[in-house]
């Protein structure tokens, strides 16, 4: 009962944070203006952004599979992709239910009696490698922002990156010792995944007829990604962060907010196919020769 109450409270809090942030955003800028801006989106660039984001999720599924194999949980790539897709759907469309990562743990434990502790370590290590990569990207991108430059920035930013990578590896190895041999691979996967998501943001900006200030938008996107855990599917956080920093980087407010809204739409579209295995896959996944088929 306590777990149900905690889950309900956590979900309600995230939804409340999203609603409050959206209210703050649209109390400062006209929703109609944002809507009109989105209507002017170039379809071809929007579609390319969709492709980049979908590729990032496909590679994320491969990263998760690497984590599963490291803990001797052998599932087929196809089943892993289905599991990841359903997890995406749960994360986006079921705010009051089980989360996507928790669903993966629940399903695999229920069907195959695999250790909940080890399965939880898999999804947490997977997420942690992504977190480290995002932090590295933020530092790298900061080197190109003239507003962030100081006399010593070209020295301390690279130094910060090196120190961050070292500390990240030490902490990762301490918290997830079983995954230490795969740390480099996981970080490389994560770095490429986040790069693909930057590609999605880049084409979203092009779809909105924006051809400058890319690096600043990228940094704010990653900052909002880090903070998205406090809201429902990142909704509200992205729009608020983009709007809050628009004066600092001389963004047009309606454009910056539209970037956040369109990224949410992209996430929604890519997550939607996750309903297919839930509704139409009648055959259960089962263990056969150490793989799920």
Q: Give the C-alpha separation, 193 to 189, whole Å.
A: 6
Please check whether residue 242 is in contact with residue 256, taking contact to mean a CB–CB distance below 8 angstroms: yes
Please check whether residue 88 is in contact with residue 274, taking contact to mean a CB–CB distance below 8 angstroms: yes
Residue 140 predicted with pLDDT over 50: yes
pLDDT at position 261, please? Answer: 95
| Average pLDDT score, the chain | 86
Q: Give the C-alpha separation, 44 to 28, whole Å.
A: 30
Phi, psi of 287 (to 5 degrees): -85, 125
pLDDT at position 152, please? Answer: 56
Please check whether residue 142 is in contact with residue 157, taking contact to mean a CB–CB distance below 8 angstroms: yes
Residue 287 predicted with pLDDT over 50: no
Q: Quick one: average pLDDT of 194-206?
A: 97
Q: Quick one: average pLDDT of 206-228?
A: 92
Residues 42, 45, 47, 50: is their CA dihedral positive or negative? negative
Residue 217 predicted with pLDDT over 90: yes
E strand segments, the chain: 287-288, 291-292
pLDDT at position 109, please? Answer: 87
% helix / strand / coil in the chain, to the nearest 5? 80, 0, 20
pLDDT-wise least confident of 188-197, 206-215, 232-241, 253-262: 232-241
Please give the model's pTM, rounded to 2 decimal places.
Answer: 0.90
Residue 8 predicted with pLDDT over 80: no
Please check whether residue 83 is in contact with residue 95, taking contact to mean a CB–CB distance below 8 angstroms: no
pLDDT at position 197, please? Answer: 97
Read off the pLDDT of residues 66-122 as tens digits, 9 standing for 90 and up: 999 999 898 888 888 888 998 999 888 876 545 778 888 888 888 888 899 999 999
């Amino acid at each position: 009962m306590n777990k149900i109450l905690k889950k309900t409270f956590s979900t309600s809090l995230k939804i409340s944070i999203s609603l409050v942030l959206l209210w703050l955003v649209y109390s400062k800028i006209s929703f109609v203006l944002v809507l009109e801006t989105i209507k002017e989106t170039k379809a071809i660039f929007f579609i390319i952004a969709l492709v980049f984001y979908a590729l990032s999720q496909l590679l994320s599924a491969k990263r998760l599979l690497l984590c599963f194999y490291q803990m001797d949980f052998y599932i087929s790539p196809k089943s892993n992709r289905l599991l990841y897709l359903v997890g995406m759907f749960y994360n986006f469309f079921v705010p009051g239910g089980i989360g996507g990562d928790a669903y993966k743990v629940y399903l695999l434990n229920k069907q195959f009696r695999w250790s909940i502790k080890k399965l939880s370590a898999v999804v947490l290590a997977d997420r942690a490698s992504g977190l480290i990569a995002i932090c590295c990207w933020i530092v790298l991108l900061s080197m190109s922002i003239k507003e962030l430059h100081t006399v010593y920035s070209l020295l301390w930013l690279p130094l910060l990156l090196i120190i961050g990578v070292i500390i990240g590896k030490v902490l990762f190895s301490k918290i997830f010792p079983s995954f230490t041999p795969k740390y480099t691979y996981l970080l490389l996967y994560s770095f490429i995944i986040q790069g693909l998501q930057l590609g999605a943001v880049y084409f979203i900006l092009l779809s909105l007829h924006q051809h400058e200030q890319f690096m600043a938008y990228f940094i704010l996107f990653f900052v909002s990604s880090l903070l998205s855990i406090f809201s429902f599917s990142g909704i509200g956080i992205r729009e608020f962060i983009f709007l809050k920093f628009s004066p600092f980087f001389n963004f047009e407010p309606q454009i910056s907010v539209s970037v956040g809204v369109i990224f949410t739409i992209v996430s929604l579209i890519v997550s939607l196919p996750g309903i297919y295995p839930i509704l139409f896959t009648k055959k259960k996944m089962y263990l056969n020769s150490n793989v799920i088929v």
